[in-house]
Amino acid sequence: MRPLEPAAPVDYVAIGDSFTEGVGDWYPDGTARGWADRFAGHLADQGREVRYANLAVRGKLLRQVMRDQLPAAVGLRPTLVSFSAGGNDLLRPSGNPDLLAAVLEEGVRRLREAGAEVVLFTGVNVSRGYMSGLVGRFARYYLNIRSIADRHDCHLVDQWSMPVLSAASVWDTDRLHMSSEGHRRLALRVAEVVGVPTERCWDEPLPEVQPVEWRVARRADARWAREFLVPWVGRRLTGRSSGDTLDAKRPDLEKFLPGG
């Protein structure tokens, strides 16, 4: 996949779940910012005309993205689409990485046939921490995504190969979504993948952090379980989602200004 032409206008549409909506990175008014907004800013910083829509909604499964967001994205006739979904499916016992990949590939095919360049993502390495038991399932999905990117000539952002994303400081307190620093660095990585120059690099060393005392860490674990894990399990058991009452934050292609 060749890089974006430096001066060419871009109509960019982002589809997916909380990862793309930007949960964990907040504007002062409490709405999600996230890497996609930041990436749109990097596009605009090059002096090109940028129109941007973000259809992603937290908690959505891949079939919901395909049903609700993909047709809307195709209808906007974008030149560039970022597409990341399936993670919420894989957190469920029924999540089959090969079946999910087949659905994702159908979405990619439709976007490419509509004339859009497509950015795909692997996820981060989950071999450590509370999701380590699911590493095989996630890794299998990501290998499928690599193959899809190859077959359909897509840009691929490989988060698995970004060691900076293993640091605690790039993750929000819920330990599931990236922090503002994580979103900032990922936006820089996406810009690099599509060939958009930026003033800073995604892999700049992180500040050194002092080790956390064992008892402090265990209290933090207990607080995380009480405030985030238990409510998440409760939503899964009752078939609810954190995005059930939410709409897309940027449903239409609108001009995005530098620093926007």
109-116 average pLDDT score? 98
- Split at pLDDT 50, 70, 90, the class of 16 is very high
Q: What is the pLDDT of residue 245?
A: 74
Q: What top-level class would CATH report for the domain 10-199+214-255?
A: alpha beta
Handedness of CA 77, 21, 50, 108 (dihedral sign): negative
Query: In the chain, where are the structural domains located?
Result: 10-199+214-255
Distance set, CA 55 to CA 108, 145, 153 (Å): 16, 21, 23
- Split at pLDDT 50, 70, 90, the class of 27 is very high
Report strand pairing: 10-16 vs 117-122. Answer: unpaired
- pLDDT tens for 28-73 read 999 999 999 999 999 999 889 999 999 999 999 999 999 999 999 9
- Split at pLDDT 50, 70, 90, the class of 5 is confident
Instruction: Round to whole Å and give the CA distance between 229 and 90.
Output: 16
The answer, yes or no, to whether residue 87 has pLDDT greater than 60, is yes
- Split at pLDDT 50, 70, 90, the class of 92 is confident
Instruction: Round to whole Å and give the CA distance between 97 and 112.
Output: 22
Average predicted confidence (pLDDT) for the chain: 88
Instruction: Round to whole Å and give the CA distance between 126 and 165.
Output: 10
- pLDDT tens for 144-195 read 999 999 999 999 999 999 999 988 889 888 868 999 999 999 999 999 999 9
- Split at pLDDT 50, 70, 90, the class of 224 is very low
The answer, yes or no, to whether residue 98 has pLDDT greater than 80, is yes
All residues at 6 or more sequence positions from 148 whose CB lies less than 8 Å from its CB, including other chains: 101, 104, 105, 108, 120, 154
Report strand pairing: 50-54 vs 155-158. Answer: unpaired
Q: What is the pLDDT of residue 206?
A: 82
Highest mean pLDDT out of 143-157, 216-230, 233-247 = 143-157
Instruction: Round to whole Å and give the CA distance between 246 and 240.
Output: 13
